[in-house]
Chains A and B, each alone.
Chain A
Amino acid sequence: MSGRRVAVIGAGMTRFVRRAQETGKELSFLAASKALESAGITLADVDAVCLTSAPDAFDGVHRKGDYLSDGAGAWGKPFIRTYVGGGSGVFTPIQGWYTVASGIADVVLVVAEEKMSSCQPHPQGAFLTIFDNMIERPLGPNLLWIFALEMNRYMQAYGLDKRDIASVAVKNKRNAADHPSALLGEAEITVEDVLASETLAWPVQRLDVSPISDGAAAIVMASEDVASRLTDRPVWVQGVGWNLDTTYWTNRDLAYPQYVENAARMAYDMAGVTEPRKQIHVAEPYDPFDYKELHHLEGLLLFDRGTAPEAAAAGVTARDGDLPVCPSGGLLGVGNPIAAAGLMKVAELFWQLRGEAGARQVPGTPERGLAQAWGDLMQVGTVVVMGTEGGPSPTASAATPPVAPRATALREEAFRTAEGAVTIDELDLAYEWDAGEAIGAFLEALRDGRIVATVCTACGRTLVPPRVFCERCFRPTDSWTQVPDAGRVETFSICHVRWDMVPLDPPEIPAVIRLDGTSEGGFLHKLGGVEPDAVSIGMEVEAVWRPVGERTGSILDIAYFRPRRGDAR
C-alpha cells in the first residue's frame, strides 16, 4: 500500500433510535467523545477531523457539515465533510486513511451522523430530485422503486427464492439483539414474519428494509508511530477502494453490482488479498435491504453470482458460520441512520478484530475483515479492508463495545408535542429545471409520437435516455436515430405506497423498459392495461400514447406501456 501505514485505534457510537431527543451536534458529540475515550486520547491529540452526513435535507440544515463540526470536535482544526450518499459511512474512513497516509495528520477523528427524524412527512421527499426531473419525476416515483426493480431483476436473473433472501433480515435482526446500540434487535424473529410483513413495493416487504433512524458513530485513525505508542492492538487499514457506475441507473446491470467488484478489487489489490474467500474472515457489507447484503457479497467476490442467498439460508453467513456476515446486526438490525450506519460497520470490524465484540464476537481469531457501503444514485461502492496482521493476540475485553451507548429515544407523541420544537411546514423553495439539449429533443419527439436515441459510433451504443456525449468514450455522440416504441420489460415492481408511504390502491407498476434497437438497460415508465399478476420480466410491451392534441412534450405523452399487441412504430 502506498503512503504511511494507518491504524484504527478507537471507536464509539450512540444508540440508534427512531427519533432522538438530541440534536445532530449532540449525537455527534456522544459518538466522537466515546471514540476518543476508547482510543485513550483527548481532542487535543487530534490533528484533523473528517465528517460525513448524508443529504442536508434529512436534518433540514443547509451546510450540515459545518453545523455538525463542533460536535465532531472540529473547532480550530482542519475539517472537511465528504459525501457519497449511502456510501459515505465507509468512504469517510477512506478520507481519514489518506489524510494520515499522506502525512498531513498523525491522528484523525472520523465522525458520521444522521438525523432523519426531522424531515417531514417522510425523508423520501428529499430523494425525489435524485430522479431525473424531466423524464422520471413526472411519473411520480418512489425511492423504493429503484430497490424493488433491482431486487426483482436480481431474483429473476438467478431464479432466487425470496425465503432465502428473507433469511438475511432474520439473521441480522437476531444478531442485533446482542448489540447495545440496536434499534431493531429481535432474537425470535423468523422468515415467516418477514414474508408476512406488509408489501411496500413488491418484492420489497416491510421487514426486508431497514427503517429511517437517528444516530452517530465515530472512529479514531492514527499513523503507525502514534498507534504503536497508544495501543498494543491496532487494527490496520490494509486496503481501500471506491468506484462509481453510470448515473443512468436504468442502464446498469441491475442483477450484479459491478461497481462493488471494482471497489473491492482496488481494496484487495492494496491489501494483497488474492483469495478473498480464504483471506476475509468477517464481512460487514451494506444491508439497507436484505437482498443488498447478498448482492454485495457477490460483488465483493465472496460468493459466486446468484449463490449468496442459498448460502445465507444454509447458515454460511451466520455469526458462527464459515463467513460471518454482519455480526453487528447491520442496518437491518442495528438501524439505518445513513452515514452513521456505514461507519458503524467499520467500528464493528474494529471490535471484532480486537476480540472485543462480546456476545457478538465471531468465533476463532479473525485476522482480516471488510466493510462496504453503497450509495449515491445506488451506484457507488466503497470498501475498507482491515486486519490485525498477526500483532499481539486480541485479548477479550470485559466490556462489550460500544460501552453504554447513549441517545434518548423520543416517542412519536413526545416528538409531536415537544416544548420548544419548531415546525417548518414546507421548504419554501421552487426550481425551474432546463431539459438541456438531448432531453429537450427527446421530449419534442415524444410530442410527435416518436422515441429518439443518440448513437455513439465509437462504442456502438444506441442510447435511451439520449445524451449529447457518451459517458464511456467521453466524446460527443454522433447522430440521432428513431427507435421503436416497443420493447421488453427488464424489471418491474408492484408498488403499494406513494413516496410519503401513503397507501396506493390500486397499486402501480413501475418498470424498466428496454426498447427494441437500443443497446442496454432501458428507461423508467409504468405498465398499464394489465393485471399485476400477469406481468413478467421479458414481457414484450408497447407504448400507449396520449391523443395527439393532449401531448405536451413530456414523458407523460406516453401514457403507459401495455403488453404488445401490434407492430411497433
Chain B
Amino acid sequence: MSRTVTGGIPIGFRYTPGVGNGAFLDALRDRGVLLGSRCEACGVTYLPARIFCERCLAELTPGVECGPEGELVSWTVGHVDLDERPLPSPEALGLVRPDRSDTVLMHHLLGDGPWTIGQRVEVVLADERRGSILDIEGFRPA
C-alpha cells in the first residue's frame, strides 16, 4: 500500500550583504560607481568588492572603481521562465567584465542585440537607487 504525507520546510531567510558587498552597494547607491577590491600580490581586482583575496587570503580594502564601460564576456537570450512558460518577450543576460576588474558581473543586457562576445558595453544605472544590485538596470552597447 502506498501512503504519503506532504509538507514543507517552514523557513525563510534574511540575507544581509556583508562587509564587502555592503561597500559595493553603498558606492553604487551613493556615487553610482562599481566598487571593487584589488589584491596587489596576486594582481587581481575583484568586483563586487571583497574583504579578502580568495587566492592568498590577504585582507583587502574595497576601493577600486571599475567600469562604467566593459567587455561582454558571454551572453544568452532566455525565452522561458523558471517553469518553462514562454516569456512575454525574450530577455538578454550577459557576463560583463567592467574595465579595471578581473571578474565578471552577471546582469541584464539592454537593447535588441545582436550581441557579440568581446563587444564593448556600458552600465546603465536606475533612476532611483536603494543599495541593491538592481540599482544597475543593465548594460547596453557602448
Residues of A within 8 A of B (CB): 19, 21-23, 25-26, 29, 32-33, 36, 42-44, 57, 60, 70-71, 73, 75-76, 117-121, 123, 125-126, 128-129, 133-134, 137-138, 408, 410, 415-416, 418-427, 429-435, 439-441, 443-444, 500, 553
B10 and A426 form a contact (CB under 8 A): yes
Contact A443 B3 (CB under 8 A): yes
Contact A433–B16 (Cβ < 8 Å): no
Contact B3 A434 (CB under 8 A): yes
Q: Name which of B50-58, B70-78, B87-95, B109-117 contacts chain A.
A: B50-58
B57 lies within 8 A of A410 (CB): no
Pick from A33, A44, A553: contact of B59, CB below 8 A: A33
Q: How far is the CB of A459 from chain B (nearest CB, A)?
A: 27
Query: B62 in the interface, Cβ–Cβ < 8 Å?
Result: no
Could you say which of B12, B29, B131 contacts A120, with CB atoms under 8 Å apart? B12
Residue of A nearest to B55 (CB): A75
Interface: B86 (CB within 8 A): no
B142 nearest CB across to chain A (Å): 27
Known contacts A432-B4, A435-B5, A443-B3: A118-B54 contact under CB 8 Å? no
Q: In the complex, which residues of chain B have a beta carbon less than 8 angstroms from the beta carbon of A429?
A: 8-9
Q: What are 25 A-B contacts with C-beta separation under 8 Å?
A: A22-B18, A23-B18, A23-B20, A26-B19, A29-B59, A33-B59, A42-B56, A57-B9, A60-B15, A118-B13, A119-B11, A120-B13, A129-B7, A129-B9, A134-B5, A418-B16, A420-B17, A423-B12, A423-B15, A426-B8, A426-B12, A434-B4, A439-B3, A440-B1, A553-B3
In the bound assembly, the distance between CA atoms of A126 and B58 in angstroms comes to 34
Q: Which of B1, B12, B57, B131 has the most CB of A within 10 A?
A: B57
Cβ-closest chain B residue relative to A408: B19
- Give the most central of A71, A119, A419, A429: most B CB within 10 Å: A419
Given contacts A128-B10, A444-B1, contact A21 B52 (CB under 8 A): no
Q: How far is the CB of A421 from chain B (nearest CB, A)?
A: 5
**With a CB–CB cut-off of 8 A, which chain B residues contact A431?**
6-8
| Contacts known (A44-B56, A420-B132); A410 close to B16, Cβ less than 8 A | yes
Residue contact A420 to B12, C-beta cutoff 8 Å: no
Interface residue range, chain B: 35 or more
For chain B, residues 16 to 67, give those with C-beta under 8 angstroms from any C-beta of chain A.
Answer: 16-22, 25-26, 29, 51-52, 54-59
A26 and B20 contacting across the interface, CB-CB below 8 Å: yes
The answer, among B3, B8, B51, B130, for a CB contact under 8 Å with A26, is B51
CB of B60 to closest CB in A, whole Å: 10
Q: B85 at interface (Cβ–Cβ under 8 A)? A: no
Contact B15 A422 (CB under 8 A): yes
CA distance A444 to B8 in the complex (A): 23
Q: Judging by beta carbons under 8 Å apart, are B6 and A430 in contact?
A: yes
Instruction: Using CB atoms, name the residue of chain B closest to A425.
Output: B12
Cross-interface CB contact of A33 among B7, B10, B52, cutoff 8 Å: B52
Flag if B7 contacts A133 (CB, 8 Å). yes
User: Chain A's nearest CB lies how many Å from the CB of B129?
Assistant: 11
A133 x B22 contact (CB < 8 A): no
Residues of A contacting B20 in the complex (Cβ-Cβ under 8 angstroms): 23, 26
Cβ contacts under 8 Å, B12 to chain A = 120-121, 423-427
> Cβ of B8 and Cβ of A420 under 8 Å apart?
no
A36 to B12, CA, bound (A): 35
- What is the minimal beta-carbon distance from B57 to any residue of chain A, in angstroms? 5
Assess whether A126 is in contact with B3, with CB atoms less than 8 Å apart: no
Q: Are B56 and A444 in contact (CB under 8 A)?
A: no
- Name A138's closest neighbour in chain B (CB-CB): B5
- Neighbour of B131 across the interface among A121, A125, A419, CB < 8 A: A419
CA distance A60 to B9 in the complex (A): 12
* Contacting pair B5 A433 (CB below 8 A): yes
Q: Once the chains are docked, how many angstroms separate the CA of A425 from the CA of B11?
A: 8
Bound Cα distance A138, B12 (Å): 21
- For B5, the chain A residues whose CB sits under 8 A away are 133-134, 137-138, 432-433, 435
Assuming the contacts A26-B52, A75-B54, A432-B6, asked whether A57 and B19 have C-beta atoms less than 8 A apart, the reply is no
Neighbouring A residues of B58 by C-beta, 8 Å: 33
User: How far, in whole Å, are A427 and B18 apart by their CA atoms in the complex?
Assistant: 21
Inter-chain contacts of B11 with A (CB < 8 A): 57, 60, 119-121, 123, 125-126, 426-427
Top 4 A-B pairs, shortest CB-CB distance: A23-B18, A60-B13, A70-B54, A125-B11
Decide: A118 and B2 in contact? CB cutoff 8 A: no
Query: Do B6 and A22 have beta carbons less than 8 Å apart?
Result: no
A435 touches B15 (CB 8 A): no
Question: Would you call A423 and B132 a contact (CB within 8 A)?
Answer: no
CA distance A418 to B18 in the complex (A): 10
Q: What 12 new A-B contacts, CB under 8 Å, besides A43-B55, A118-B14? A: A29-B51, A29-B52, A129-B9, A133-B5, A134-B5, A419-B22, A420-B132, A421-B14, A421-B16, A425-B12, A427-B11, A434-B3
With A126-B9, A128-B10, A427-B11: A420-B3 Cβ-Cβ less than 8 Å: no
| Chain A residues within an 8 Å CB radius of B59 | 29, 33
Which of the listed residues A19, A410, A433 has the most CB atoms from chain B within 10 Å of its own CB? A433
Which residues of chain B come closer than 8 Å to A128, judged between CB atoms?
9-10
* Contact pick for A73, options B13, B57, B131, CB 8 Å: B57
